[in-house]
Structure 1
Amino acid sequence: MTLRVPHSPAAIGGVAALLVLLGLLIVLPVGVLVIGSFLSEAPRALHFDWSGLTFGNYRNVITAGGFGPVLAATLGTALAGTAGAVLVGSSLAWLAVRTDVPGRRALDVVAVMPLFVPPLIGAFAWDILASPRAGIINILLRSAGASVKVNIYSFAGIGLVYAIYYAPYVYLFAAAALRNMDATLEEAAAMSGAGRLRVLCQITLPLVTPAVLASGLLVFVLLIELFAIPAVLGEPGNLHFIAVRIWDMVGVTPPRVNDASALGVLMLLVTVALVLIQHKIVSRRSYVTVAGKGQRVRPVALGAARWPLAIGGFGYLLLVVVLPYVALLFISLRRNIFFNNVTAILDTRQLSLDQFRIAFSDPVVVGTLWNSLAVSTGTMVIGCVLYFATAYIVHRTRLPGRRALDLVTVLPVAIPGIIIGLGYLWSWISIPIGLYGTIWILILAYVSQFAPQASRAIGASLVQIHPELEESSRLCGAGFAMTLRRIVIPLARPGVISAAILLFVLSFRELATALFLYTSNTQLFSLAMFDFWQRGSTGLVAAMALVQSAILLVVVLLGQVLRQDPVAAGR
């Protein structure tokens, strides 16, 4: 239900102002990038040389040597990672929701924990663990006399990292579908003589297929546009990816900015098409599984398989979270990061806090940390205010233009971060308002990129508030501002806090969007980690990764405390 807010000139003007602002933040950068892909000169927001329109940039990108392998590597590893994520995520969802596996509730938490591991940190950790020559796992295997070698720099290796860190997206979709299923369908099949495996294959799986397909397409889109993992693990194995190739094109001398724009547009077309398909699957209503007469879900009895499957489920936590962080801690505490046998690995004389001392005494590291904290805080504050206003208009009013607002805020879900960064570079560098080269350009880029997450988190809380509460407040003489402050904001508080935490966490760990926007004075913590990694400062990077993870953990825990404090909500 929505409020009947009068269509006053002020209200309509507010909607128009928001549309213009979001257009500048989201639509303008992408539009400049698209136009630049058809120009022979670098694109500018205020001046385009229309006489140089050409398809030559696309021809250069497609016919240039190496485009085929780059496309194959990007799509192939994304497909392999998606398949693995679907298998792991849906399996964990079934175990946690529909079986009697021990520790079901704990498994529900374990399944989503990889969401809090930044892809860049995950890539660093797996490079330490499974590089072909010096990886800890390979050293242990050689010491044990095994002839097997793990190569994280391969299609399979990168696909594995993709799968384990993006399985939670599938889990969230599949678990929701399994919880909403009518258990009588499985009960009827079992009473008809079908075994557990047949019920699973012929009843359960078909009913959750739309959710699994939708989540699989979402993961595929996210993996196509991912930069951090391919940049760290692909380049050493001579595997090149589209996002990394765009970065390389701008970084060469002279920079191939128009070719990069063309490649970015091709990437954008693919992601937009996949997001539209995903949206169509999500909005389907042909698989209705929630009946009017529900019954308590009776867990599937696994028998002797209960404990082995439980061990496998919790082993996922060990593989994805515990093992990588142990590797980072191990490297960060060593004086000498070079070792080639178990004896060298276990040498306690190498233990030291030197890397942490270096990190906290290095002005570059400390400066980038403060920059990241400032950018993340700015993104959080501006994003919450902007998207609260947007979500309120979309979900609580019938004002004209609200559907356009909703559409604009959801657009970035199909726009890769590196595309947003490149678009901001060409659209704002020529606008004479002094934003480029400051942290404000980074804040605006992040506010644009994470619009879908923030607006949806806030909107989910707003739609739960009945309009009668606001109408009663106004009938008692309270104005619009007081109603917002005393009624709407306190009740929508959980969603606002969730949006704030999301914005802070996502912007603090983001790498790709800032690649084209930072300067020596505005470098961010993730960018500094990536730069030190390229220079071979592995120990310092491990220490920085642990510091970043600790900050994110504190922020998430603080958000949980604030969201569950009902006393503060009533003040």
Structure 2
Amino acid sequence: MLYSLPLLALAFLISGSLYFYLRKGSFSTINTFSRQSKSFIWLSPIKKILSYSFISILLLTSLLIPLFMLVAESGFNFLPAIKSAQGSILNSLLVVGISVPIITLLGFLSYYVYKKSNFLAALIAFPLVIPSAVIGISLINLYSTLSVGIYGSVWMIVLGYILRFLPFSLFIFSAFGPQVSESMEESARMCKSGFMKTFYRIILPLTRNGFLASIFIISIFCIGETGMTQMVAPSGFQALSNRIDTLMHYGNYSYVASLSIFLLLFIFLLYGLYLVMYRHGRH
């Protein structure tokens, strides 16, 4: 536990310096889904060729070549690899299914409570710089010194994911939350509408895309997390990311590549569902 304190102190020092340096700056955001008129940068033919070549090379080297190498390394052993890791896949889906709704709900409630506070930016920024190893060591120390009721259960991992990824959900809602006009909430309170009715009728429809984005992004983080899962997982529990790491350690590269492709396909499936629901909500 003591060995993680210097790393934690350094993380807070760097994040605090950046926060105080950037807090008064002005920034621009880009919304690719905006229905307003867009401005374009017109390029000469030579600049277009250079731009397209750069993007093509970037995609080729960062996506297509690794994917091709995974397919070649897999030896098309997809079904045997998936069958051998069936338990790990179900464990990952279980943890994701429990963690993501809790993290998303806590992220929304945290934003709703602190949206008018000057500490919102700090509440988002400071936890993001804490390394997962520090959180894992802290939880291990907690589980080993105190009588915690969740010891030996899947909730050990869920708590780790909440501490690790809650700031990301809070950050997402800080971008979508301002779409809810305070005048609408005040009008609902004047009509003596309770919080649940106001949330269901006003807040939820206007922040629906924030909930979708949080669910999608946090799901990807949770299902791909290796370090935190390996550190705090109960005995005998193995998630898909840890299964891939174990197979890599023992040199079973065919199954490693096959399960990696399966994980990529699962993420692409989540992204497709997110796009469908996002566009359906806009219409």
Q: The TM-score by the shorter chain falls in which range?
A: 0.7 to 0.9
Q: CA shift at 1:541, angstroms?
A: 0.3
- Give the equivalent residue in structure 1 for 2:19: 279
- Give the equivalent residue in structure 2 for 1:319: 61
Q: Whose radius of gyration is greater, 1 or 2?
A: 1
Whether 1:553 aligns to 2:268 is yes
Q: CA shift at 1:384, angstroms?
A: 1.2
Q: 1:418–1:515: 8 Å Cα contact kept in structure 2?
A: no
Task: State the structure with bigger RCO (CA 8 A, min sep 6), 1 or 2.
Answer: 2
Distance 2:14 2:165 in 1: 19
- More deviation, 276-285/525-534: 276-285
- Give the equivalent residue in structure 1 for 2:74: 332
- Give the equivalent residue in structure 1 for 2:132: 417
SS in structure 1 at match of 2:149: coil
Distance 1:467 1:431 in 2: 43
The correspondence for 1:502, drawn from 190, 213, 217, is 217
Distance 1:318 1:465 in 2: 41
Per the alignment, do residues 404 and 289 of structure 1 end up closer, same or farther by CA in structure 2, a change over 3 Å counting? closer
Q: What code does the residue aligned with 1:394 have?
A: Y
Distance 1:325 1:270 in 2: 36
Q: 2:156–2:234: 8 Å Cα contact kept in structure 1?
A: no
- Give the equivalent residue in structure 1 for 2:86: 366
| Aligned pairs for 1:244-283 within 5 A | 262=3, 264-283=4-23
SS in structure 1 at match of 2:145: coil
Per the alignment, do residues 515 and 360 of structure 1 end up closer, same or farther by CA in structure 2, a change over 3 Å counting? closer
- Give the equivalent residue in structure 2 for 1:309: 51
Deviations 1:498-527 (A, max 9, x none): 111111110110112122112343211111
Root-mean-square deviation (Å): 2.5
Q: 2:107–2:170: 8 Å Cα contact kept in structure 1?
A: yes
Tell me the percent identity: 20
Q: CA shift at 1:539, angstroms?
A: 0.4
- Give the equivalent residue in structure 1 for 2:193: 478
Q: CA shift at 1:558, angstroms?
A: 0.8
Per the alignment, do residues 441 and 305 of structure 1 end up closer, same or farther by CA in structure 2, a change over 3 Å counting? same
Q: CA shift at 1:265, angstroms?
A: 2.2
Distance 1:521 1:409 in 2: 34
Q: CA shift at 1:309, angstroms?
A: 3.3
- Give the equivalent residue in structure 2 for 1:566: 281
The answer for unaligned runs of 5 or more in structure 1 is 1-32, 38-261, 291-295, 334-352
Q: What code does the residue aligned with 2:55 have?
A: G
Normalised by the size of structure 2, how large is the TM-score?
0.88
Whether 1:493 aligns to 2:233 is no
Normalised by the size of structure 1, how large is the TM-score?
0.45
The answer for unaligned runs of 5 or more in structure 2 is 30-37
Q: What code does the residue aligned with 1:373 have?
A: L
Q: What code does the residue aligned with 2:86 have?
A: V
Whether 1:457 aligns to 2:175 is no
4+ residue stretches of structure 1 with deviation over 3 A? 287-290, 300-303, 402-410
Q: CA shift at 1:470, angstroms?
A: 1.4
Q: 1:328–1:543: 8 Å Cα contact kept in structure 2?
A: yes
Q: CA shift at 1:479, angstroms?
A: 1.7
Per the alignment, do residues 275 and 373 of structure 1 end up closer, same or farther by CA in structure 2, a change over 3 Å counting? same
| Aligned pairs for 1:127-526 within 5 A | 262=3, 264-285=4-25, 299=41, 301-333=43-75, 353=76, 355-362=77-84, 365-395=85-115, 407-526=122-241
Per the alignment, do residues 278 and 421 of structure 1 end up closer, same or farther by CA in structure 2, a change over 3 Å counting? same
Per the alignment, do residues 282 and 306 of structure 1 end up closer, same or farther by CA in structure 2, a change over 3 Å counting? same
What is the aligned length? Answer: 275
